[in-house]
Structures are given as C-alpha cells and as structure tokens.
Amino acid sequence: MKVAVIGAGIAGISCASKLQQAGYQVVLFDKARSVGGRMTSKRSTQGYMDFGAQYFTARHPLFQQQVASWQQHGVVSRWLAPLYQYEQARLLASPDAQQRYVGIPAMHSPLKWQARQLDCQLSCRITALKAKENTWQLIAESGEQFGPFDEVVLTLPPAQVNSLLPQTVTQRFPETILQPCWAVTLVLAKGTAHAAGGIFIKDAESPLSWVSRHNSKPGRAQTESWLLHFKPAFSALHLQQDQAFWQQTAEQTLSALLGQPLAVAEMISHRWLYAQIQTQHQDFHYEGVIAAGLWVAGDWTRGGRVENAWLSGIEIAQQIIVKQGASVCPSIG
C-alpha cells in the first residue's frame, strides 16, 4: 500500500512515521530543502535561530509520550527560562508552572531526527494531483510525476491545499485562517543583561505579539540575541517592507520594551505568510477526508499549535490504517 504525504512539517512527519511503522510504503514530499515547515530554524553566524514556533507544550498523553522519547534521544529539552509579560506599557515577570519544550540545538531538531528514517523527496513542490483508477498521481513543479499512490495526505496551510485540489473536488478551506507574521532577530554586540527568556505581549498598543531571547534556550550560542514576532495586523500592513524598515522597527520596539539602548551587530528577518491560527478559529476542527484516498491534516485542522499539528498527522494515519483494515487503533479524541 503506497501513501504520499505532502508537507514535511510536524503534521506530515508524524503521519508518515505512524504509517511507515504500520507497514505502509510512504513517500514524504516538501518544497523546502529540509524538513521542519513552520518549526524550521535558520542558520546564522550564531548557530541556528528559531524564526517560527518558539516552544511547544504537551497536554495530550500521546504527544507527551512522543516528547519523552525525543528527550531520551537528546533532540528536545525543557525550556526553563524566566517568562515575562508586557501589559499597559509595563514589563513584569510572569512565572507559571507550565512545562515548555524546545528542540536541541534548534526547533526543527526532533523533526530532522524523526525524518532520517523516512523516504523524503525535498526541494520538490507538488503542483497538481490527478485521480487515476482509484489512485492518485502527483505532479511536481519540475514536471516529474510520482505515483500511483493509494492514499495522499495534504499537510499544508489551507491556501496551499486549495491550490492543489482538482476541480472534481468541490471542497475548499478558509484561506485566512492562518495569519501572516514578520519575525526579526537582533544579534547584540553588547548584552543587555535582561533576565527575560520569553515575553508574552498583552499590550494592545504594541506591534509585537511575542519576544524571546535565543540564548536563554538550551543548546544555543551564548551571544545575546532576541527574536521578535510582530502581530498579524501589523505584519499584514507592512507585508512588503524591506530589511531597513524591519531593522529600525525591531530595534526601536525592543529598546523601548527593555528600557535601554541596544547595540545591534546583526539583523535577520523572515516573513511568514501563513503563521498561526486566528484566535476565533481555535475551535475549528476538520475531520480529514476530502475525497476518496485524499486526506487533509495540519495544525489548522485541529486548533493550531505544534502539539495539535502532530496529533492531526497521527489521527489521519490512524484513519487510513483503520480504513485499510491493517489494524484497529484507538481514536485520539
């Protein structure tokens, strides 16, 4: 039984791994040069920098088991840095008891580790799906064709899912459910000595949604560097702005937040067109099957977040396994 999983983010990797363990022949496709999707970190002179997901929590027992296994293999660790909150123009410590995890040495590390046993076709953008005698054929941007596959799982943001669906499939998904985010990292020539590891921004006037200090995470370079995530509305308004705009905006905003001038040595930015789910869509739950042999998974089908992306991939794998009668797995609920 052959399955194609399109998208090598955490949803695609969890789905592909589960199916492979159950004896399926799985091929994982991604347009990017490496696996990770929105957990991908960028290489810099200061080692890897996390521009997408910053950390994750594990509330579901199945995901807790997976996280424990990643910890045993040294690719995930707890993140114990002090947390702060910025509200009504005040920056205050905001400690809590929540356990938070990061990849070691980068957010994508558990995915790279897991994908080493999978058949990955990277730098391979799929541009069309063709139904052929109860199977599916994949057509890549290069013109290359893959298949036939008995099952195809799409683990892409909804706009990218929609662009792949053949006209014979009428279903379309809400494209604005995932919002844009500009991410900017400032590497400092001189440290601020600020204790904050992460800062939740709760101030309506701030253009920011989240700030973190990279070097507060285990396994990172010790040079002080800060990551800023700009709010969806601010990011959308300035979607086309250049590096100079983001350097100036990030420097001014972080300097005001920390209450001191900054000596910036390097700025690296990344624009996410589809970043995180809109708050009002957190309860959106899509069940998964689009057409015969065609499935959809991904964070947005289950309320967003790394954990839900992982669970969505497992859930679709279980549905395929049950459908094919290979074994019966409990629903993850």
Binding residues for ligand FAD, per CB under 6 A? 6-12, 29-32, 37-39, 52-56, 125-126, 155-157, 160, 181, 183, 229, 272, 275-276, 298-299, 304-306, 309
Largest CA distance in the chain: 66
Taking the CA atoms of residue 178, residue 179, residue 185 and residue 191 in that order, the dihedral angle to the nearest 10 degrees is -100
CA pair distance 230, 13, nearest whole angstrom: 28
> Residue 181 Cβ, how far from ligand FAD at the closest point, in Å?
4
Among ligand FAD, ligand NAI, none, residue 102 binds (CB under 5-8 Å by kind):
none
**Would you say 22 or 258 has its CB closer to ligand NAI?**
258
**Would you say 55 or 70 has its CB closer to ligand FAD?**
55
- If one asks whether residue 94 binds ligand NAI (CB under 6 A), the answer comes out as yes
- 305, 324, 329, 332: which one binds ligand NAI (CB under 6 A): 305
Q: x/- site string to ligand NAI, residues 39 to 58, per CB under 6 A?
A: ---------------x-xx-
- 33, 72, 97, 98: which one binds ligand NAI (CB under 6 A): 98
**Would you say 99 or 326 has its CB closer to ligand FAD?**
99
Site for ligand NAI in 204-243 (CB under 6 A): 210
**Would you say 199 or 320 has its CB closer to ligand NAI?**
199
Among ligand NAI, ligand FAD, none, residue 279 binds (CB under 5-8 Å by kind):
ligand NAI
Phi, psi for 181 (deg, rounded to 5): -155, 125
Burial class (CB in 10 A: 0-12, 13-18, 19+), 238: middle
Q: What sign has the CA pseudo-torsion 8, 115, 307, 225?
A: negative
> Residue 52 Cβ, how far from ligand FAD at the closest point, in Å?
4
Structural Rg of the chain based on CA atoms: 20
- 253: closest CA among 309, 207, 194, 203? 207
**Six-digit token string for 117:** 């046993």
Tokens 């990011």 locate to 235
- If one asks whether residue 85 binds ligand NAI (CB under 6 A), the answer comes out as yes
- 283: closest CA among 306, 308, 311? 308
Phi, psi for 26 (deg, rounded to 5): -115, 135
CA pair distance 163, 12, nearest whole angstrom: 18
Site for ligand NAI in 263-282 (CB under 6 A): 276-277, 279, 282
> Residue 209 Cβ, how far from ligand NAI at the closest point, in Å?
7
Number of C-beta neighbours around residue 3 at 10 A: 26
**Six-digit token string for 150:** 């008995």
Judged by the rule CB under 6 A, the positions of this chain that interact with ligand NAI are 54, 56-57, 83, 85, 94, 96, 98, 100, 200, 210, 276-277, 279, 282, 304-305
